[in-house]
Chains A and B, each alone.
Chain A
Amino acid sequence: MSLTELTIADAAAGLRARKFSAAELVGAHNAAIAALNPRLNAYITTTSDAALQAAAQADAALGKGEAKPLTGIPLGIKDLFCTKGVRTTAASNILKNFVPPYESTVTANLLRDGAVFVGKTNLDEFAMGSANITSAFGPVENPWKRRGDDAALVPGGSSGGSAAAVAAGLAMGATGTDTGGSIRQPAAYCGIVGLKPTYGRCSRFGTIAYASSLDQAGPMARTVRDCAILLQSMAGFDARDSTSVNCDVPDYSAAIGRSLKGLKVGIPAEYRAEGLSAEIEAAWQQGINWLKDAGCEIVDVSLPHTKYGLATYYIVAPAECSSNLARYDGLRFGERVPGDTLDAMYEATRRAGFGPEVRRRIMMGTYVLSAGYYDAYYLKAQKVRSLIRRDFTESFQQVDVLLTPTAPTPAFAQGEQSDDPVQMYLNDIFTVPASMAGMPAMSVPVGLGTTGLPLGLQLIGRPFDEETLLAAGSALEAAAGFTHRPALRAEVVK
């Protein structure tokens, strides 16, 4: 088997058994990036040389028997995580030359455990988007193709570069961030596993903020077990993030393959929404059947405020981003466009620095926080948000986990939905509620749709119960036997 097709678990075992070296493993991924990235545009910045140096150190550690959980494992890092000495852009012109003098907690944790970073993956600008078409560094192409159709498809967003890189074999795993679905939806579109942990599980320190009360880092990988391995390193309390939660990190891998006998799985009626494609509905039913076969009890539940999720999200997230992005003013770091006055400099800098979607969300956010509108929009949205959270809390008194589709459709082609922002926002309709409630959720690929594209199902769990997601996810994964690979991947494109 090609080195770029291995799982993280197998690669870690292979490295320890000295079947291949970290240099070979990282070299194979560097080569795959060189071959495919010009087409996929999954990476904004590649760090091949630094990766090879890190691989040499990994080999030295392996030689001394000092391997850590991720020693020698090549990962892609979403270009929203600040990486010390490595350009970090948030896919925005305003940070196109920004080199942080510090490391985010999540990436520092991965480095502590021996991971090797092969590059910074592309994303929607400041993580605002669902198709990875708002990046200042150009769109990412989904490595999958519709059957008999060469049209370039979107990888989903905002962690589209991470999803495409992992699917195509340009990284064994990647970090993502999820604010309203930005890990789960691209994972579904690219046929990989993506896990958004409970809000507070992973530190936000050093991760460029989009919407602080929603942003959460999480792993993206080709198997549920690999996600568990990555989350093990990424998660944990961090005193530098006041919203980080101080509770123990369990052994996530131990949850893989755990018996589901007696597990209660809720099926929320409200997710049978209009616009849900027949193929997704069929996949959902298949998933229900598989979990039933695994010994789960299926329970119909209701999350009555689901229908307000998207509208609420598009008040809360822009409100926070309008404030979070105020620091990009051209004064202390980032790009500056001169002006005759301070205000003129701000306007010129921010007009040149931010793309249209970021500007749109800053304007929406500014509007909903303005005097006279605050109560009608922001305050109302916060109230609805607590009702959405209550829906989940109440249903988790009846069930242990929820099963829903991840997205209403499979991946679409570049340009198909981009003219209507509201249509684009609808891609997040199933992922946004769990984000609003801070619940952990995961997307698992369960099969191919009628056009040959991967379909994902979403599991939503109780706060800090990522283990049940991993257990149920591994059962779906095993039942689905999803071994399909995209058309564009390292092993076929040399």
Chain B
Amino acid sequence: MSYTLEGRTGTWEIVVGLEVHAQVISHSKLFSGASASYGGEPNTHVSLVDAGFPGMLPVLNQECVAQAIRTGLGLRARINLESRFDRKNYFYADLPTGYQISQFTHPIVGEGTVEIELADGTVRHIGITRLHMEQDAGKSMHDQDPARSFIDLNRAGVALMEIVSEPDIRSPEEAGAYLRKLRQILRYLGTCDGNMEEGSMRADVNVSVRKAGEPFRTRCEIKNVNSIRYVMHAIEVEATRQIEVWEEGGEVDQETRLFDPARNETRSLRSKEDAHDYRYFPDPDLLPLVVEQAWVDELERGLPELPDDKRDRFVRQYGIPRYDASVLVAEQAIADYYEEVAKGRDARLAANWVTGDLFGALNRTGRTITDSPISAQALGGMLDLVSDKTINGKIAKEVFEDMLETGDSAAAIVERKGLKQVTDTGAIDAAVADVLARNADKVEEYRGGKDRLFGFFVGQVMKAMAGKANPAMVNEALKKVL
């Protein structure tokens, strides 16, 4: 069922394209040797090049180019062996040179595609138009002083990748799925940390609405939305606004808008008439960027296994459901953890424990997989005890909780608490005899045809044996006697 919005005049569908700015993970900035790390006292990561001093010249950082190419490969996109840097000219206090070096007409990466999966299992492919490299600007701070603004140039010149999607997205859910998938790919590649709170990933959202079968109508661009949830809200709010405009006989103006999450509305930032004339032209300080296919091939060989490939392999190799596989590949670290647990063990059981009890425990304790209180080895050790019937599934839950608290190994806990499963038929038979003797009335009822009572007897025997009995053997012993 596709996503639509009901208006007064009928049903509307939405058309969305996303421009994502992803900060490149690199030691130094795109065109200078200054540190690109986040944080630091204001204006401490600034070279003379970043500050736009007279006579300073940009020199391209090759690592940033490698990161852009890796990302392009991860998006299954065309790598342009020749690309070019242009200047985008505008005056602003946090733009030291008065121009941003970007790639306007000849980006380093061309068309690609991202596969997304929706909650109902639908798989869609969102087209990538291009990826280009550009410099970030500095930061203006207007709230430090009543009369003055302050500028922090730490971020000025840091490398960004702008990843532009085709207008293929048709619902807020798809936009959310696209952004999560993109972030997942970037994190797998190690090319962007995808941290939207720190601003290392930001999205500009292009939204329009139309009736079924129509060509595209005018779109608005919502600038700088900084969480996936806000992107999804902003799309819905903006689409609703546009539908109202059209239905009241108006025209949607092509303009740039801002999303205000507090009021849940978008507001006009500037109209097309006020749009900057950026006067793009090729940056004469930089030669065209020419990369060799051999280098691209080398970078490709160095890529990690990407999430889609990993998911498919998990389904094949471990025989787990596709949904579980998707959950397990959400992060590289989770996938690694799972593979270590599953190695040489019951892979389905491992998947159940990781996605069930372990994720639950991480949630409760506010931890992530990388600082999990139970290591993959420890969890694997516990599963070994289940497989060799040292403990049963119920006891395993208890052992797991103990591991979480004490950090002890499963074997040590089983030993300490005497939780070893009882497989001694004599002990089980004795317990069965005792339970049946104490419940002679119920035995009568059972024999009179009340089959449901079998479970009651099992429970009583397990209870009598402090849960440590082998459930299958208890069943067998009961059946024999009854």
B323 at the interface (CB under 8 A from A): no
- Shortest C-beta distance, B334 to chain A (Å), equals 42
- Among all A-B residue pairs, the 4 with the closest Cβ atoms: A326-B98, A213-B284, A369-B279, A212-B284
Is the CB–CB distance between B96 and A239 below 8 Å?
A: no
B266 at the interface (CB under 8 A from A): no
Is the CB–CB distance between B281 and A327 below 8 Å?
A: no
Q: Which residues of B lie under 8 Å from residue A211 when comparing CB positions?
A: 284
Contact with A along B111-136 (1 / 0, CB 8 A): 00000000000000000000000000
- Shortest C-beta distance, A363 to chain B (Å), equals 12
A88 at the interface (CB under 8 A from B): yes
Is the CB–CB distance between A332 and B51 below 8 Å?
A: yes
Q: Which residues of B lie under 8 Å from residue A171 when comparing CB positions?
A: none
Q: Which residues of B lie under 8 Å from residue A205 when comparing CB positions?
A: 55-57
Contact with A along B306-322 (1 / 0, CB 8 A): 00000000000000000
Is the CB–CB distance between B60 and A242 below 8 Å?
A: yes
Could you tell me the distance between the alpha carbons of A419 and B336 in the complex, rounded to whole angstroms? 76
Of A90, A241, A366, the contact of B54 (CB 8 Å cutoff)? A90
B91 at the interface (CB under 8 A from A): yes
Interface residues on A, range: 35 or more
Is the CB–CB distance between B98 and A329 below 8 Å?
A: yes
- Shortest C-beta distance, B29 to chain A (Å), equals 14
Asked if A100 meets B287 with Cβ closer than 8 Å, knowing A326-B91, A329-B91, A366-B279, the reply is no
Q: Which residues of B lie under 8 Å from residue A82 when comparing CB positions?
A: 54-55
Could you tell me the distance between the alpha carbons of A326 and B279 in the complex, rounded to whole angstroms? 12
Asked if A331 meets B151 with Cβ closer than 8 Å, knowing A242-B287, A326-B99, A346-B91, the reply is yes
- Shortest C-beta distance, B98 to chain A (Å), equals 2
Q: Which residues of A lie under 8 Å from residue B277 when comparing CB positions?
A: 370-371
B167 at the interface (CB under 8 A from A): no
Is the CB–CB distance between A327 and B97 below 8 Å?
A: yes
Interface residues on B, range: 20 to 34
User: Secondary structure at chain B's binding surface: helix, strand, loop or mixed?
Assistant: loop
A320 at the interface (CB under 8 A from B): yes
Q: Which residues of A lie under 8 Å from residue B87 when comparing CB positions?
A: 323
B48 at the interface (CB under 8 A from A): yes
B373 at the interface (CB under 8 A from A): no
Is the CB–CB distance between B54 and A208 below 8 Å?
A: yes
User: Secondary structure at chain A's binding surface: helix, strand, loop or mixed?
Assistant: loop
Contact with A along B47-66 (1 / 0, CB 8 A): 01001111111111000000
Asked if A374 meets B52 with Cβ closer than 8 Å, knowing A242-B58, A323-B87, A323-B98, the reply is no
Asked if A342 meets B93 with Cβ closer than 8 Å, knowing A331-B151, A332-B52, the reply is yes
Could you tell me the distance between the alpha carbons of A340 and B479 in the complex, rounded to whole angstroms? 94
Could you tell me the distance between the alpha carbons of A346 and B92 in the complex, rounded to whole angstroms? 10
Max chain A Cβ within 10 angstroms of own Cβ: one of B48, B89, B98: B98
Could you tell me the distance between the alpha carbons of A331 and B94 in the complex, rounded to whole angstroms? 9
Is the CB–CB distance between B281 and A378 below 8 Å?
A: yes
Is the CB–CB distance between B54 and A88 below 8 Å?
A: yes
A–B complex contacts, Cβ < 8 Å, 26 sampled: A90-B54, A204-B57, A205-B55, A205-B56, A205-B57, A206-B55, A209-B285, A212-B284, A243-B287, A319-B281, A323-B98, A323-B281, A326-B89, A326-B91, A326-B98, A326-B99, A327-B52, A327-B98, A331-B151, A332-B96, A333-B53, A342-B92, A342-B149, A366-B279, A369-B280, A374-B281
Max chain A Cβ within 10 angstroms of own Cβ: one of B52, B56, B284: B284
Q: Which residues of A lie under 8 Å from residue B412 when comparing CB positions?
A: none
Given A323-B279, A371-B277, 18 additional A-B pairs, CB 8 A: A81-B55, A82-B54, A102-B53, A204-B55, A204-B57, A205-B56, A206-B56, A208-B54, A209-B55, A212-B284, A240-B57, A242-B60, A242-B285, A320-B284, A323-B87, A343-B91, A369-B89, A369-B279
Chain B interfacial positions (CB closer than 8 Å to A): 48, 51-60, 87, 89, 91-93, 96-99, 149, 151, 277, 279-281, 284-287
Could you tell me the distance between the alpha carbons of A281 and B45 in the complex, rounded to whole angstroms? 58
Q: Which residues of B lie under 8 Å from residue A329 when comparing CB positions?
A: 91, 98
Is the CB–CB distance between B54 and A242 below 8 Å?
A: no
Q: CB-nearest residue of chain A relative to B55? A: A206
Of A81, A98, A100, A241, the contact of B57 (CB 8 Å cutoff)? A241
A476 at the interface (CB under 8 A from B): no
- Shortest C-beta distance, B139 to chain A (Å), equals 14
Could you tell me the distance between the alpha carbons of A366 and B53 in the complex, rounded to whole angstroms? 21
Is the CB–CB distance between A323 and B89 below 8 Å?
A: yes
Within 8 A of B (CB), among A304-323: 319-320, 322-323
- Shortest C-beta distance, B373 to chain A (Å), equals 50
Q: Which residues of A lie under 8 Å from residue B52 when comparing CB positions?
A: 327, 332
Is the CB–CB distance between A323 and B99 below 8 Å?
A: yes
- Shortest C-beta distance, A22 to chain B (Å), equals 29
Contact with B along A86-101 (1 / 0, CB 8 A): 0010100001001011
Could you tell me the distance between the alpha carbons of A95 and B57 in the complex, rounded to whole angstroms? 18
- Shortest C-beta distance, B401 to chain A (Å), equals 60
Q: Which residues of B lie under 8 Å from residue A371 when comparing CB positions?
A: 277, 279
Is the CB–CB distance between B279 and A370 below 8 Å?
A: yes
- Shortest C-beta distance, B45 to chain A (Å), equals 15
Q: Which residues of A lie under 8 Å from residue B99 when comparing CB positions?
A: 323, 326
Q: Which residues of B lie under 8 Å from residue A88 when comparing CB positions?
A: 54
Within 8 A of B (CB), among A196-226: 204-209, 211-213
